Structure 1
């Protein structure tokens, strides 16, 4: 395809050829009018006579005698999966250039070890359900509560400890230091759209997890999404009979990841990392309540305004249809 500043686009090439062939214009006059060389005009006129298209031809050669063989490419991928070595080490084993190894691995999406499953050595398989509600991921993120005056991440260790001691109405540990406890962020995120529902609670018990699920089902239902399956890890709340019975009552199929395989629930894990950067540790909060109050605004921005690469650089809400307030 011609570049954006090309003198002759396919439409103008056709016009040039017709002026020469059908209207009888001299090649030199057509070249002067369109400000191109006469060989260029002659080339497109000859292609028009031959019935060829006005698009650019492929620059790919008809034959590539020095092309890397399929056998070497397969062996390169096999060694990468088995040995997890880099391009330089694999090149010495295969007798080819490291740049060739890199090109092979990049084509197989194995050019980074982070793309390779550590347990099997195979390329990580990514999936996405085909409609909202087909599967939602649930998980809990535990965050340390912020003392009044600010946490150590922003005010430093020394001042953070003083703020911790000065925070009122907190129980003491055996060293007589105040126990600030944790904030448990319960998240339900849709696999297809990446739309997220999040609550901050004071524990991660089965009763709390079930309450979050009930409210999440209602929240998604108000936006036209019916939850069919829910995927969780093997935490105690999700292995409880209460969780199982609640899913059955809501007509939701509960599923759990394989033990010690958080990658299976990677969408909610990645959301928690985004949430930590964009909300939990984004600025200096002077109290835990201030941070919790800021969650609603950030979640609205994430769902309805923040571009998401998995959604084609559009907000997650763009994958939901006819939602009230979708573009507010």
Structure 2
């Protein structure tokens, strides 16, 4: 038997309850009150007795009666080898004398459910310019403003919040070959702001001995900067938005983020800066 510790009736008590009702015609409500169980529980044992006899009055296990089948280690190895030979799942099931559903479930868990998963991954299309000025990466990083120092300095999470103060946009332009960067912290990333930033960035790069480069820009700045580059007679490459090694500006932007203090060299001076405006003015923007 698998009777739990809080059971009011054992198998013998349940059999006595059922026999008193069937043989002596006593009501189930009266018998349930004597046994200290509910009327619903009494009807449950009566229904089980009528369906399976005295053997049905034993407590049932909570686990499932039948467990789903799986493959033994040898069958699993053979299934993987057959799949790498690009055999169909039904063909593999026939060779292993195993159910199709079992073979499909096991191979799906291994990532071999689709034949396209067996194809070798295409090589990553990487690009890297050798000469300074050949390609300029442009993007915008959004940083939250703050009025006071946060909990990483004060240690108090309740008093370091600066809700509703908005965001600053870090406009970044980085040369692909030299990683020379021009950065401005601006209030927005609208068309006029982006055009003005690109104009100043082009003049700054030209002042460092570079010719006017083409621009590889993020998705947000594409429309206004396209118009500006047409006016500057600058070629405009159509870079894929998910091309590999497309984000040196994102790695560079982490050095101007307020969170990694060691990367900024502001561990001692940050508590004296009351807000984002003073912090932006203190940043070394020529990276």
- Indicate conservation of the 8 Å contact 1:133/1:226, yes or no: yes
What is the distance in 1 between the residues matched to 2:190 and 2:153? 31
Among 237, 242, 255, the alignment partner of 1:274 is: 255
Residue deviations 1:71-104, cap 9 Å, x none? xxxxxxxx9xxxxxxxxxxxxxxxxxxxxxxxxx
What is the distance in 2 between the residues matched to 1:229 and 1:139? 14
Q: 1:256 to 1:204 in 2, by over 3 A?
A: farther
Residue number in structure 1 paired with 2:132: 132
2:167 paired with 1:182: yes
Q: 1:121 to 1:210 in 2, by over 3 A?
A: same
The 3-state SS of whatever aligns with 2:165 is coil
Q: What is the deviation of 1:205?
A: 0.9
RMSD between superposed Cα atoms in Å = 2.6
- Indicate conservation of the 8 Å contact 1:233/1:265, yes or no: no
Say how many residue pairs are matched: 161
- Indicate conservation of the 8 Å contact 2:125/2:243, yes or no: no
Q: What is the deviation of 1:290?
A: 2.0
Among 271, 278, 281, the alignment partner of 1:290 is: 278
Q: 1:223 to 1:291 in 2, by over 3 A?
A: same
Residue number in structure 2 paired with 1:214: 199
Residue number in structure 1 paired with 2:230: 248
Q: What is the deviation of 1:252?
A: 1.7
- Indicate conservation of the 8 Å contact 1:146/1:287, yes or no: yes
Q: What is the deviation of 1:200?
A: 0.4
2:211 paired with 1:226: yes
Residue deviations 1:30-55, cap 9 Å, x none? xxxxxxxxxxxxxxxxxxxxxxxxxx
Q: What is the deviation of 1:229?
A: 0.8
What is the distance in 1 between the residues matched to 2:170 and 2:265? 10
Q: Within 5 Å, which residues of 2 pair with 1:86-125?
A: 121-122=121-122, 124-125=124-125
Residue number in structure 1 paired with 2:33: none
- Indicate conservation of the 8 Å contact 1:232/1:256, yes or no: no
What is the distance in 2 between the residues matched to 1:222 and 1:205? 26
What is the distance in 2 between the residues matched to 1:265 and 1:224? 24
Q: Within 5 Å, which residues of 2 pair with 1:139-218?
A: 139-147=139-147, 149-155=148-154, 156-161=156-161, 164=162, 179-218=164-203
Ranges in structure 2 where 5+ consecutive residues have no aligned partner: 1-83, 85-119
The 3-state SS of whatever aligns with 2:172 is strand
What is the distance in 2 between the residues matched to 1:270 and 1:186? 14
TM-score by length of 2: 0.50
What is the distance in 2 between the residues matched to 1:200 and 1:280? 18
